[in-house]
Amino acid sequence: EMEEKVCEQCPSMTYSQRIVGCLTCIVVGFLISMGSTMRLVQLIKGNPEPFAVMYTLGNVIGLSSSCFLYGPWAQIKSMFNRLAATGAYLFFMALTMFLAFYPNEIPLRLMWLVFSIFLQFLALMWYSLTYIPFANQIIVGMLKRLCC
C-alpha cells in the first residue's frame, strides 16, 4: 500500500534518466561535502554550523542518489536490511547536527563535533561496504590480523 503511494508520487523514469539522476546526486553530494572543507577555518574558530551543515547535507544528497536507481521505497527497505550500519550512519549525522546547533554550552564542543564528523565518515564507509558482497567479512578479517 505504501509502495503504491510512493510510486504514484514518483513517475516512472527511463534507465538513462535514473543514471543521470544518480550521478547528479553523487557529484553534487561530493562537491558539497568537499566544499565543506572551505569552512574548516570557521570550524576551528568555534563556528561549527557551516561546516557541519555542508558536510552532512552532502552526505544526505549522496545517499539519496541510490533512490534514483532503485526507487525510494526499495532504498528504504534496503536500508532497513542493513539496520546496524544505517542506524550508525543516521545517528552520527543527527549527532553532528545536534552538536553544531545546540544553543547551550557543551564542554569541549569542538572536539566532540570533530569526533562526531569522523565517526559519521566511518559510518558512511561501513554503510557503503554493506552493498559490496563479502566486504564486511574481508574488512573484519583484515582488522583482526592488524590488531591481534
Alpha-carbon gap, residue 52 to 101, rounded angstroms: 9
Any idea which residue has 542518489 for its cell?
Answer: 65
Residue 141: the pLDDT is: 87
pTM of the entire predicted model: 0.75
Alpha-carbon gap, residue 58 to 37, rounded angstroms: 12
Residue 3: the pLDDT is: 53
Alpha-carbon gap, residue 101 to 61, rounded angstroms: 20
Query: Tens digit of pLDDT per residue, the chain (148 long)?
Result: 555 655 555 567 777 888 888 899 999 999 998 898 888 888 888 788 888 899 999 999 988 888 887 778 888 888 888 888 899 999 999 999 999 888 888 888 888 988 998 999 999 888 888 877 788 788 888 888 888 6
Is residue 92 within 8 A of residue 99, CB to CB? The reply is no
**Residue 143, CA distances (Å) to 37, 52, 118 in order:** 29, 29, 18
